[in-house]
Copies of this chain bind each other. A is one copy, B any other.
Amino acid sequence: MFKKILIANRGEIAVRVIRACREMGIAPVAVYSEADRAALHIRKADEAYAIGPASAAESYLNIGKIIDAARRSGAEAIHPGYGFLSENPAFSAACTEAGIKFIGPSPASMRMMGSKTSARQHMERAGVPFVPGTSRGVASLREAEEVAAGIGYPVMLKAAAGGGGKGMRLVDASTELKGALDAARSEALRAFGDDEVYIEKAIANPRHIEMQILADEYGNTLYLGERECSIQRRHQKVVEECPSPIVDADMRRRMGEVAVRAAQAAAYANAGTIEFLVDAHKNFYFLEMNTRLQVEHPVTELVTGLDLVHWQIRIAAGEKLAIRQDELRLRGHAIECRVYAEDPENNYFPSPGTIASLIEPSGPGIRLDSGIYEGWTVPMEYDPLLAKLVGYGAHREEATARLFRALEEYFVGGIKTNLGLFRRILSDPDFIAAKVDTAFLDRLLKSPAPQKPGHAEIAAVAAGLFAVLNPDSSMNGTNGTRQDADGGRSAQNKGAAAWKRAARLDALQ
């Protein structure tokens, strides 16, 4: 087993991996950019290496600096977390070249799954189902008409070189096809210099369900059950659960076997995830493979009882999987909320700043993977994910109840978060009935939570009592903050001064 591992990441996932290292008796090494000097992952690590300025391109994405830190520290392996360099085959290759074990799949597996067309070719050969349609561009309008008639409307036109919605058109009926094809082609040409457009069946309000796999370096591959990830904002998951409310044992086995075939076709080792689109008839179609640990891995850990990060490290150290597929048992239900520093009522606008007060939930069935602390200033340079709150229970109802209870206990003061949105999601009848798809969140009303009658009066009285009982306390809950000035601080102090002044003036009466 490794004696020292460098974690090439930050935030909650760096803390998560550091915890796994501690549990396995491995010394964890942190890296940090200038914006992260006060971050929690540094406090928790044995060693910490500065790797450059705030900009990720010059720090967390800089392969040379990270390899250099690993060499200097003597780390035998690197855990990439998710995001940043985790799916970069050049990084994985650079690790190998430097004689450092990359905790993840080989560069070849990564490359195969990283390219859309290469992945589709390999996956089709392995018998993995795709959304019906053409796998390369249609040559003419007549060919397009034939294909669309064959798979049935509505269909989706997509640019072969595409991405980001450019060159995409939804076509509801044959009469619309010509215009849409012309428009998609010209948009694709302008955007990518290539007017190749292919056709896929359009899936309305699909569910997004993914299958976790775990493979050792000896060809043994397990599927660990699915995750339902349909609740998204801006194509980013915010609530995930395991198991999916619509997947039964038979469907799980079929999806799992497809996922194992896909992984084996890519000679895949370590943890990975096959994402599927699922239509209203529970047909599932390969979407892509994520060749890394997922943000939402905790829900699978709670339901399978396995620690995926421990297993990632063990597999990288050359261990064989100690469990067989038929020994694996799913038990209970887990739901995760991704807590972001953002304002859901203002189009999810990011909300960095100082966490002036923090109350974290705990108790039965609650797991919190957090990367923050009271007094810390959330930097504006990175993804605003603060923490992941997970509720576990014997069944979906109990998991939801425990998670909701924990959301009521959770308080992050000083910055905006999406905690209130989660409380709304979890009490929404559609969520409770498990009627979720990728359009759920857009349907959820955006109106603020209703205030209770009489509570404004209580707030007035409470404000007076705060002033009387604690007139000298700063409005800012923490005494110490980072050395560098931050935008909100002086304003806060002004506010505090105003409160104190008013309280003192009154005391003179």
Contacts and interface: CB of A to CB of B under 8 A. Distances in A.
Given A307-B393, A310-B398, A367 B368 contact: no
B367 A402 contact: no
Nearest to A309: B364
Nearest to A374: B374
Interface of A: 15-16, 19-20, 22-25, 44, 298, 301, 305-307, 309-310, 329, 331-332, 359-360, 362-370, 373, 393-394, 398, 401-402, 404-405, 408-409, 469-470, 472-474, 477, 479-480, 483
Nearest to A394: B305
A22 B427 CA distance: 13
Contacts of A401: 22-25
Contacts of A309: 364
Contacts of A405: 19, 22-23
Contact of A364 (B16, B24, B479): B16
A398 B307 contact: yes
Q: How many copies does the complex hold?
A: 2
25 contacts: A15-B363, A19-B363, A20-B364, A23-B398, A23-B404, A44-B409, A305-B332, A306-B394, A307-B364, A307-B365, A307-B393, A307-B398, A310-B398, A329-B331, A360-B360, A360-B362, A362-B367, A362-B369, A362-B370, A363-B368, A364-B369, A366-B367, A469-B483, A470-B480, A473-B480
Given A24-B401, A331-B331, A394-B307, A364 B19 contact: yes
Contacts of A329: 329, 331
Nearest to A479: B473
Given A23-B404, A24-B401, A44-B409, 13 more contacts: A15-B363, A19-B364, A19-B405, A22-B401, A22-B405, A305-B331, A307-B393, A360-B360, A363-B367, A363-B368, A363-B369, A470-B479, A477-B479
A479 B496 CA distance: 13
B364 A408 contact: no
Contacts of A473: 479-480
Contacts of A398: 23, 307, 310
Nearest to A308: B364
Contacts of A368: 362-363
Nearest to A406: B19
B469 A298 contact: no
Contacts of A298: 364
A165 to B, nearest CB: 37
A23 B402 contact: yes
A479 to B, nearest CB: 4
Contacts of A470: 479-480
Nearest to A44: B409
A332 B310 CA distance: 15
B402 A364 contact: no
A362 B332 CA distance: 20
A469 B481 CA distance: 9
Contacts of A366: 367
Given A22-B405, A307-B393, A307-B398, A362 B362 contact: yes
A73 to B, nearest CB: 19
Given A364-B298, A408-B22, A479 B474 contact: yes
A209 to B, nearest CB: 23
A339 to B, nearest CB: 13
B370 A367 contact: no
A314 to B, nearest CB: 12
A43 to B, nearest CB: 10
A20 B405 CA distance: 9
Contacts of A394: 305-307
Contacts of A306: 394
A80 to B, nearest CB: 19
A365 B367 CA distance: 7
A475 to B, nearest CB: 10
A409 B360 CA distance: 15
A409 B23 CA distance: 12
A394 B405 CA distance: 26
A347 to B, nearest CB: 31
A82 B306 CA distance: 33
